[in-house]
Amino acid sequence: MATINEKKRAYYEEYSLFLGKICLKLGLRPNFITIVSFFTAIVSGICFWQGLMIWGVVWMLITSVLDMLDGSTARAGNLGTVFGGIFDHVVDRYGEFFILAGITLSGAVHPGWGLFALFGMLIASYTRAAAESIGKIENCAVGIMGRTEKFLLIIGGAIVEHWLPVGTWPKAGWLEFALIIVGTTSVITAFQRLRYAQKVLGDKKEV
């Protein structure tokens, strides 16, 4: 029986396929789109670092769209490769680092919460990668919150932070509040993935 995450992923892959076909017609290839997303994430991080919240959000949204397009383009053209999947995951982690580093250095949030959110997102991703590569689990994308939802939280927090005056509730700021949620749910997600891997693998011995 399919889990909620698996159903969401199947729905997402089905309805993003037509965008991948458009990219193919434009002559775009998955790895090229992934490379472009790497640079848009850097631009987003720089904008956040310089206090340009809305521009940081705009480039973050572009990064998210490109992250969706590389996968849909690969599926639409049957261009998916093992290396392409690895490359995409590594670039995603770089993107998360640049964006969250920019937010942390901006002074809009306490550095500790910025680092907490960054650590949480990286450890959740690493736990999944370890379960799928070492444990040979087909898909360990379980947990209370995925990457897309976390990005939406950060985007929402940044937008509200830009428009609400300083000192409104919560006093720490909406963006910081969003990072606390992102960090907390990411750590919980990592434990959920560990638990899921334990249930699937049981006492299976190393080869």
Same domain, yes or no, for 117 and 84?
Answer: no
Which range in 37-46, 67-76, 126-135, 138-147 is most confidently predicted, on average pLDDT?
37-46
184: in domain: yes
Is 79 domain-assigned? yes
**Same-domain check for residues 115 and 191:** yes
Q: Provide the 3-class DSSP secondary structure of residue 138.
A: coil
Which residue, of 107, 127, 148, is where some domain finishes?
107
Tell me, yes or no, whether 100 and 18 share the same domain: yes
Domain boundary among 92, 107, 122: 107
Q: Is 70:34 a contact under the CB 8 Å cutoff? A: yes
Tell me which residue range forms the domain holding 90. Answer: 12-107
Q: Is the same domain home to 87 and 145?
A: no
User: Residue 205: left if φ>0, alpha if ψ -120 to 50, beta else—which one?
Assistant: beta
For the chain, how big is the Rg over CA atoms in Å?
Answer: 18
**pTM (predicted TM-score):** 0.87
pLDDT tens figures, 28-73: 999 999 999 999 999 999 999 999 999 999 999 999 999 989 989 9
Placement of tokens 């409104």 in the chain: 168
Domain annotation covers residue 207: no
Q: Which band of pLDDT confidence, cut at 50, 70 and 90, is reported for residue 10?
A: low
* Structural domain total, the chain: 2
Looking at the structure, do residues 34 and 60 belong to the same domain, yes or no?
Answer: yes
On whether both 89 and 56 belong to a single domain, the answer is: yes
